Structure 1
Amino acid sequence: MIRRALLLATLISAPALADPPSLRKQGTATQLIVNGQPMLVIGGELSNSAASSATYMAPHWAKLKAMHLNTVLAPVSWELIEPVDGRYDWSSVDAMLKAARANDLKIVVLWFGAWKNSMSTYVPAWVKRDQTRFPRAGLPNGQGVEILSTFGAETLAADQKAFAALMAHLKTVDDRDNTVVMTQVENEIGMLPVARDYSPVANAAFAQPVPRELVDYLVAHKDGLVPEMRAMWLDRGAKTAGSWTELFGEGDAGAEVFAAWHYARFADALTRAGKAAYPMPMYVNVALNRPGRAPGEYPAGGPLPHLIDVWKAGAPSIDLIAPDIYFPNFVDIVNRYTRRDNPLFVPEANNADHPTVAANAFYAFGQLDAIGFGPFSIDSIDAEPGKLKDAYGVLQQLRPHILAAQGTGRMAGFKPRQLYDDTIVYEPQTREIGGYRFTIAFADIQRPVTSPDIATAGGMIIQIGPEEYLIAGQGITVTFKPVGDGPASAGIDSAYEGVFDAGGGWVPGRLLNGDQTHQGRHIRLGAGDWQIQRVKLYRYR
């Protein structure tokens, strides 16, 4: 009886096991659920080698927390955790988890396994040196490249074993805390410098018919295919059997679809092995292609915009495809990756010191219900005051309201659209929320002229009650007009600047009027000052 009592006491005192992180729908949005609650990933990704050294990272954790991050995206490399075949070293992982918990930060693990930025340089030395067991992809002339072939059965088996061991270890040491909330599978997969692997085994596979699973997916989803796939497949007669070139075109076209299919199948098998050990949301990221470049001049076969359908068909175990964005046309790119079957997550939203990063975050969260956002090399700027810190501070204050509004139509985000050539489309934008049409201007509404600073402007509007809104951002002027039946004019009942305290309570500052609201005509959030205004509107005849 004493033993039974001691056992019962132990069970009562032991922390309850937490459910693994998961994804859940709210209205039209998909949310990340951690410890039973929705979470917004306000993050930053470490530079590639940062997490390999606990000593290097020691001074950075508190600085990242002070920048108002709640999540750090951190690499875990195969070469560090399995330096000897079958022998694991978890010291770097455990040190990272301990430091993150000490600073109340979450982690998104980036698995640098078989591929990182297309190449295979993060694999252990015992993989690099054994090219018989772990074959390389080949060029048309027979030369090997430092990229492991997707056709290496031992490569997949070894990568699966290491990745599953990592996930099993996380389940053992983290299932009460959920410090790790998501996992990235590989990194920026794709073939260089040609469209596909030309090794003998790859050539043999390329000579085989297109797999039935891919064709069946295209047939079932033909009305929703991306424009490039529609042009490639439907415009060619929507064939349902044949070779890669017969179905998708000669030259690089069919070759790249072939590469994408086999990369996706490898990533799917790896994901299934990881989820079998510890199920949590898993995603792949993508290195985007520049306009006018041929496959191989960018990482060919990755989950690129024109190949999303191939990846959705080939890797159903992967929860989402996440774009890494270093090009100016952020708005166009994120809208392509926001789909009913693909919630938005941006793990590398340009470099952390880029001036448009903060505005891009507001757009992603406010307009597209993003799960998370994180610029790259966050450790390189964590000692600087910077505008990102100020913008993240506002996002942290708004976080409960953003989560409550996701998928409900009560929230909108905005920023000037930029084109790939850096042209700024700065004309005012409109959004309808809660019975009002809001017009957002990024330039002086009296004398609109473009300037480079306009690209950094942005914000969001969240409806929090009948005719009551939070308007947040910088460099914007907002006017408003009723929609629907009733009086046709709108005025400002009240407009307070202010902040939300640590407990979520509103702390009002100045009651804005007169010159600050253009005598009741607009709400203005000045350039360079990320802020929140709480605004009540009313209608009049």
Structure 2
Amino acid sequence: MNIKQIAIFLIVLLIQIEKGNAQENIPYLKMVGEKTHLIVKGEPFIVLGGELGNSSFTSIEYMKPHWEKFQAMNLNTILAPVYWELIEPKEGQFDFELLDKLIIETRKNDMKLIILWFGSWKNSMSSHVPSWVKQNPTKYPRAKDERGVSQEILSPFGKNNLQADLNAFKALMKHIKSIDKEQTVIMVQPENEIGMLPSARDYHPLANEKFKKQVPTELMGYLQKNKEYLVPEFLKVWRKNGYKTQGTWEEIFGQGYGTDEIFMAWYFAKYVQEITKAGKEIYPLPMFVNAALIRRGKIPGEYPSAGPLPHLMDVWKAGAPSIDMLSPDFYTPDFELWNDLYVRQNNPLFVPEHRFGNTVGAKALFAIGHYEAIGFSPFSIENNVNSELAGAYNLIEQLHPLIAKNFGQNKIEGILLDRDKVLSTVVLGDYEFSFKNSYTLGWEAGATKDVWDSGGAIIIQTNTNEFYVAGSGVVVTFKNWKKRDKIVGILKNEEGVFENGNWKVIRHLNGDQTHQGRHIRISHGDYSIQRIELYEYE
């Protein structure tokens, strides 16, 4: 190399280092063991969130009285929509005034912000696209049902649809990058609850043309490469037709609504991939997509077909590799079952939307403890006040240093109990812990109710025989599963709080509070933390 070449090399190297440092300073995801942390400003961050109603942040005045409520519920993050129709009211003319005010108000209230992009789709529909898109279906084609009737849904097969959404999203990410130097915005959701209704797939001529063609080699290559790791529901469909590697959608996956859904999932995923990839090239924040879950007994089209659902996660991962996680929105039962399906293939769990109710506190504890989730967020947070959520979020915030220290090391667990599930057993180290809903003791008034309040807890192992239990509505007994001939007793039981990361004892518990050394318990409504030390005797 001559001197000029060396100088150019050093300049390029410095630019790359500066670019790398800049990216390291923005929020990102980090694997620890088999779990994934969200890192904000260099530190692990748990989203104790609340999602705003769809139309709430269209006025600063409407939001003013709600910030105090958010703080009372111990939120650290707001999930808020950004509406395509409002930021680009005229094609190519962008207005970010409302977004700027949202970021300023969020920062002023010492919270973080997750942006929900209401672009081409929101709850399957294209309700938030600009009027200049809605009024020009020739240029911006809509999906059609089996009868050829146009739907209030942009077709993912329309190139102009993608390009217009892409332009708006790129402008959004450029703007966030330029004004949010303090990292108030920590994640982004491109689109919202994508899916086809009331048909399983789009029947626009552009879609029909694609449906008759060969399945793209990109998808088939992914399936062949990852065959032994595919989720069993999807593998079963492929196996049923002989693991074919070439052919049309119906030749490879068979005829029926299921194939219609797989077909749509691929093209929805490819559409979102283009948007996400372009956004990340500008400002690579973590990005996720969410799904409206399947209601029991429903078929594709009766639920939003082709969204990022568990049985389609292989199609979505193949089609949208820039997406960091697939996330469930809960308006259905079976919280644990659905989450178990979502954490396969090392997909990090983040619950961005859950119906508000009395179960949210226990479920937040369970999600953060059992799945070591990115975070949890009930919906319509501005219209609700919930002491259960406030209590749970307060405990998680106190435990945050312990969670971060022990993250991904099989030292953290979570428990969720109700009347249908009164017992949950977990193993940490040498000990087996049996958690029961505290109503099973018969001492609390709520035990006589037809529907029991949920019990929830996090347990963290901090030493061989030292554990912290935090939650509400649980009673805990213990055994040493390795030394089965030993009896396990309570050496010490303290109730306390963490102040600036330091444990402060409020009460030393014994006697009636531990049932004379036979269990520890935290009653319903009493969100608290207990430290226990165990010992064995014969």
Q: What range is the shorter-chain TM-score in? A: over 0.9
Q: 1:238 to 1:144 in 2, by over 3 A?
A: same
| 1:205 correspondence with 2:206 | no
Q: How does 1:427-466 map to 2 (within 5 A)?
A: 427-445=422-440, 452-466=450-464
Cα pair distance change 1:53/1:468, threshold 3 Å: same
Alpha-carbon distance, 1:72 to partner: 0.5
Shift of 1:465: 2.5
One-letter identity of the residue aligned with 1:430: T
State TM-score, norm by structure 2: 0.92
- Kept in 1: contact 2:73–2:387 (CA 8 A): no
Corresponding residue for residue 8 of structure 2: none
Report the 3-state secondary structure (helix = DSSP H, G, I; strand = E; otherwise coil) of the residue aligned with 2:367: helix
Q: Is residue 197–residue 259 contact of structure 1 (8 Å, CA) maintained in 2?
A: yes
Question: Would the aligned equivalents of 1:426 and 1:443 in 2 still touch at CA under 8 Å?
Answer: no
State the SS of the aligned residue for 1:493: strand
Structure 2 equivalent of residue 358 of structure 1: 361
Aligned to 1:3: none
Q: How does 1:27-66 map to 2 (within 5 A)?
A: 27-66=33-72
The correspondence for 2:82, drawn from 61, 68, 76, is 76
> How far apart are the structure 1 equivalents of 2:439 and 2:289?
41
- Distance in 2, Cα, partners of 1:314 & 1:385: 39
> Partner of 1:154 in structure 2?
160
The residue number in structure 1 matching 2:347 is 342
Note if contact 1:415-1:455 (Cα within 8 Å) is conserved in structure 2: no
Question: In the alignment, what sits opposite 1:8?
Answer: none
Change in Cα spacing, 1:454 to 1:434, as seen in structure 2 (3 Å) is farther
Instruction: Between 370-379 and 57-66, report the one with greater CA deviation.
Output: 57-66
Partner amino acid, structure 2, of 1:433: L
For 1:213, what is the secondary structure of its paired residue?
A: helix
* Contact in 1 for aligned 2:126/2:152 (Cα 8 Å): yes
Taking the TM superposition and a 5 Å limit, the aligned residue runs for 1:42-191 are 42-174=48-180, 176-191=181-196
What is the identity, as a one-letter code, of the residue corresponding to 1:149? S
SS of aligned partner of 1:30: strand
Amino acid at match of 1:102: K
- 1:375 and 2:378 aligned: yes
Partner Cα distance (2:214, 2:346) in 1: 28
Q: Distance in 2 between matches of 1:236 and 1:486?
A: 50
The structure 2 residue matched to 1:477, chosen from 461, 475, 478, is 475
Q: 1:82 to 1:395 in 2, by over 3 A?
A: same
Counterpart in the other structure of 1:510: 507
Secondary structure at the counterpart of residue 520 of structure 1? coil
* Aligned equivalent of 2:519: 522
SS in structure 2 of the partner of residue 24 of structure 1: strand
Other structure's SS at 2:344 match: coil
CA shift in 2, pair 1:249/1:358, >3 Å: same
Q: Name the SS of the counterpart of 1:415 in structure 2.
A: strand
Shift of 1:485: 4.7
Q: Distance in 2 between matches of 1:21 and 1:457?
A: 33
CA contact (8 A) 2:438 2:474 kept: yes
Indicate whether 1:311 and 2:316 are aligned: yes
Give the counterpart of 1:531 among 506, 525, 528. 528
Distance 1:430 1:496 in 2: 22
1:217 corresponds in structure 2 to 222
1:385–1:232 Cα change, 3 Å: closer
| Contact map agreement 2:349 2:373 (CA 8 A) in 1 | yes
Partner of 1:408: 409
Q: Would the alpha carbon gap of residues 416 and 249 (structure 1) be closer, same or farther in structure 2, given more than 3 Å must change?
A: farther
Q: Contact 2:196–2:301 (CA<8 Å) still a contact in 1?
A: yes
Provide the C-alpha distance between the structure 2 equivalents of 1:59 and 1:274, rounded to a whole number of angstroms.
Answer: 33
Shift of 1:513: 0.4
Q: Is the CA contact (8 Å cut-off) linking 2:331 and 2:354 kept in structure 1?
A: yes
Mapped contact 1:165–1:277 kept (Cα < 8 A): no
SS state at 2:378 partner: coil
Structure 1 residue 51, shift from structure 2 partner = 1.4
Post-superposition Cα deviations, 1:45-94, rounded to whole Å, max 9, x if no partner, equal 00001112111112212321221010000100101111111111110110
Match of 1:331 in 2: 336
Q: What is the SS of the residue equivalent to 2:299?
A: coil
Counterpart residue identity of residue 51, structure 2: E
Residues in 2 aligned to 1:68 and 1:446: alpha-carbon distance in whole angstroms:
30
Partner of 2:388: 387
Looking at structure 1, the residues matched to 453 and 225 of structure 2 have their Cα atoms a distance apart, in angstroms, of 41
Q: Please state whether the residue corresponding to 2:80 is helix, strand or coil.
A: strand
Q: Which runs of 5+ in 1 are unaligned?
A: 1-15, 418-423
* Aligned with 2:497 (options 496, 499, 503): 499
Native 8 Å contact 1:61 1:103 kept in 2:
yes
Shift of 1:227: 2.4
Matched with 1:277 is 282
Maintained 8 Å contact 1:474/1:525: yes
- Deviation for aligned residue 1:404: 2.1
CA shift for structure 1 position 376: 0.4
Which residue matches 1:7? none
Q: How far apart are residue 216 of structure 1 and its match?
A: 1.5
Question: Once structures 1 and 2 are overlaid, which stretch shifts more, 450-459 or 265-274?
Answer: 450-459
Counterparts of 2:421 and 2:306, CA distance in 1: 34
Q: Does structure 1 retain, via aligned residues, the 8 Å contact 2:438–2:455? A: no
- CA deviation after TM superposition for structure 1 residue 237, in Å: 1.0
User: Equivalent residue for 1:490?
Assistant: 488
Structure 1: distance between partners of 2:427 and 2:227: 32
Contact residue 67 and residue 392 of structure 1 kept, 8 A: yes
Query: Which amino acid counterpart does residue 344 of structure 1 have in structure 2?
Result: L
Kindly provide the CA deviation profile for residues 278-312 of structure 1, in whole angstroms up to 9, marking residues without a partner as x: 10100000011112212111111111121111111
The letter of the residue matching 1:532 is: I
How far off is 1:452 after superposition?
Answer: 5.0
Instruction: Tell me if structure 1 keeps the 8 A contact 2:360–2:388.
Output: no
Q: 1:412 to 1:385 in 2, by over 3 A?
A: closer
Shift of 1:434: 2.4
Query: What secondary structure, in the 3-state scheme, does the structure 2 residue paired with 1:121 have?
Result: coil
Determine if contact 1:80/1:124 at 8 Å carries over to the other structure: yes
When structure 1 is superposed on structure 2, of 451-460 and 490-499 the one drifting more is 451-460
User: C-alpha distance in 2, partners of 1:73/1:44?
Assistant: 6
CA RMSD of aligned residues (A): 1.7
Give the structure 1 partner of residue 12 of structure 2: none
Matched, 1:299 2:296: no
Name the SS for the 2:79 alignment partner. strand
Letter in 1 for 2:413: A
* Cα deviation code 1:394-452 (max 9, x no counterpart): 221112222222211111101127xxxxxx53242211112211111115556698955
Cα gap change, 1:225/1:217 in structure 2, threshold over 3 Å: closer, same or farther?
A: same
Q: Which residue type is aligned with residue 464 of structure 2?
A: P
Task: List alignment gaps of at least 5 residues for structure 2.
Answer: 1-20
CA distance in 1, matches of 2:347, 2:386: 34
